[in-house]
A and B are shown apart, each in its own frame.
Chain A
Amino acid sequence: DQQVKQNSPSLSVQEGRISILNCDYTNSMFDYFLWYKKYPAEGPTFLISISSIKDKNEDGRFTVFLNKSAKHLSLHIVPSQPGDSAVYFCAAKTVDSSYKLIFGSGTRLLVRP
């Protein structure tokens, strides 16, 4: 039972264009969502997060959108750069568990020069 789903295993975009990574979830008790970026043979690093009381959070080139009615969130990267090429994980936590994060399966982004 996958509560957090990233249905696109990979995405390829041209440098300078927008990258849109999608994430769907099934648990309506999730109250906080995060995106992590992972390079090969390294641990994931935190990128951006959003609380369920918001529908948008922006940090430089990265923006996360949350659509609670659709149980969908997306990460926009504008403009995309070759250094953004990595695996991106969506994660969520529930209101009743302040510690445990549930991760999606990841999307591998390739930004072509």
Chain B
Amino acid sequence: DGGITQSPKYLFRKEGQNVTLSCEQNLNHDAMYWYRQDPGQGLRLIYYSQIVNDFQKGDIAEGYSVSREKKESFPLTVTSAQKNPTAFYLCASSIAGGGYTFGSGTRLTVV
């Protein structure tokens, strides 16, 4: 049963702390993405990767980092440089030219 899994579902971060959000897919999709959703706002692209060991910045990459060492995995690190990290984070994957399959999201809260 193929799909895309994000973990954890809820995450709390202290000020000045780095945290990593996990995203794994078993759909054999080449491309993976990270989006951020804030209350009342749309989906904004943070980073995306079309192939292993390669990734590009999206519209709001500052304060975030990613890696793509395996086709199945695309973890997102929210660094202390991200000034307003509290948001709902969505990971997605796709084949070339196809629509996205989204994970169920991770809600990150700074405490």
Contact = CB atoms under 8 A, between A and B. Distances in A.
Interface of A: 6, 9, 32, 34, 36, 41-46, 49, 89, 93, 98-101, 103-106
Contacts of A49: 99
Nearest to B94: A99
Given A34-B99, A98-B97, A103 B105 contact: no
Contacts of A44: 43, 90, 100, 102
B31 A99 contact: yes
Looking at chain A's contact residues, the main secondary structure is loop
Contacts of A32: 97
Interface of B: 4, 6, 31, 33, 35, 40-45, 48, 50, 88, 90, 92, 94, 96-97, 99-105, 107
A103 B43 contact: yes
Given A43-B90, A44-B100, A103-B44, 10 more contacts: A43-B103, A45-B102, A49-B99, A89-B42, A99-B50, A103-B35, A103-B42, A104-B42, A105-B42, A106-B42
* Secondary structure dominating the interface of B: strand
A6 B41 CA distance: 11
Contacts of B44: 103
A98 B96 contact: yes
B96 A99 contact: yes
Contacts of B99: 34, 46, 49, 101
